[in-house]
Amino acid sequence: MTSPKVLHITARDNPALQRLRKLSQDGGAYRKLGAVWLEGDHLARASLQRGLVPGLAVVTEGGYSEPTLRALADAAPRVLVVPEALFAGISGLESPARIGFELPHQAGLGPQPGLNSVVLDRLQDAGNVGTILRSAAAFGFGQVLALKGTAALWSPKVLRAGMGAHFGLRLVEGLAPEDLDGLGLPLVATSSHAEVQLHRVALPSPCAWVMGHEGQGVQPALLQRCALSVGIPQPGGEESLNVGSAAAICLYESARQRLAG
């Protein structure tokens, strides 16, 4: 295997660094540039474990002197070694990491029929979206479908919240409610007004769970397409749960019933 091309960069206006700065600081830039920025050794390692090949690694001079980070960087065909100050200029973190990958982004995917799925209906908070991706990956839901208005799935904030879950999921963005009609799966929504309680119903499997906007819930056009709406018992008396917590509970219950059957 040939060694990657290693370049030592000291100029802030280097074109590759300018590109990475935009990917790091503009949450939707990956859609135009066709690549995503993975900052930190955890995300970099998680992508490699899933067999993904970065186009480029960027590592600080101090990081490249350490065997573990050097080996991680050398998995890329191109390596840029930069001073810590230059890496900090790319980073979107208060405490910058010492390594990052530029990973090609595959756009234009459509929903895959028949695959256990989670539908995100205009979720705004990147932390909620990343949390739901982690739950989907953990509980065997291989596909996440984001309707228009949902936070960008491959933005740096969602990537950090997802902690590597992205790389084990089929992710589709920019959908309308009618785009779900070809899934061939029953849609299941949560509602505080539902008469049927989650723990008392036999859930369909496979299915697509619908998680709605943090303040408005599931939009009417989507709710009409749902075969089932369930409530989550809250004996403590709270009015509602955070959508990330609600998703984890629902996906766990689906997985539990699937494994019990």
Structure tokens at 226: 């749902």
Q: Which residue, of 104, 139, 171, is where some domain finishes?
A: 104
| 144 falls within a domain | yes
Q: What pLDDT does residue 31 have?
A: 95
pTM higher than the cut 0.85: yes
Tokens of 132: 């739901």
Whether 223 and 97 map to the same domain: the answer is no
Number of domains in the chain: 2
Pairing of strands 99-104, 78-82: unpaired
Is 109 part of any domain?
A: no
Contacts of 65 (CB under 8 A, 6+ apart): none
Q: Do 123 and 191 share a structural domain?
A: yes
Residues 126 and 250 in one domain: yes
Residue 105 pLDDT greater than 90, yes or no: yes
Q: At what angle do helices 243-260 and 126-138 cross, to 10 degrees?
A: 10
Looking at 46, 73, 104, the residue that finishes a domain is 104
Task: Based on the fold, state whether residues 123 and 196 are members of the same structural domain.
Answer: yes
Enumerate residues 6+ apart whose C-beta is below 8 A from 13: none
The pLDDT, as a whole number, for residue 2 is: 43
In a domain, 111, yes or no: no
Domain end call among 77, 104, 131: 104
Domain carrying residue 218: 117-260
* Order of all β-strands in the sheet with 5-8: 5-8, 78-82, 56-60, 99-104, 35-39
Condensed to tens digits (0 to 9), the pLDDT of residues 203-213 reads 999 999 999 99
- What are the tens digits of pLDDT across the range 126-135? 999 999 999 9
Tell whether 159 is covered by a domain.
Answer: yes
Q: Give Cβ neighbours of residue 32 (< 8 Å, ≥ 6 apart).
A: none
What CATH number has the domain bearing residue 78? 3.30.1330.30
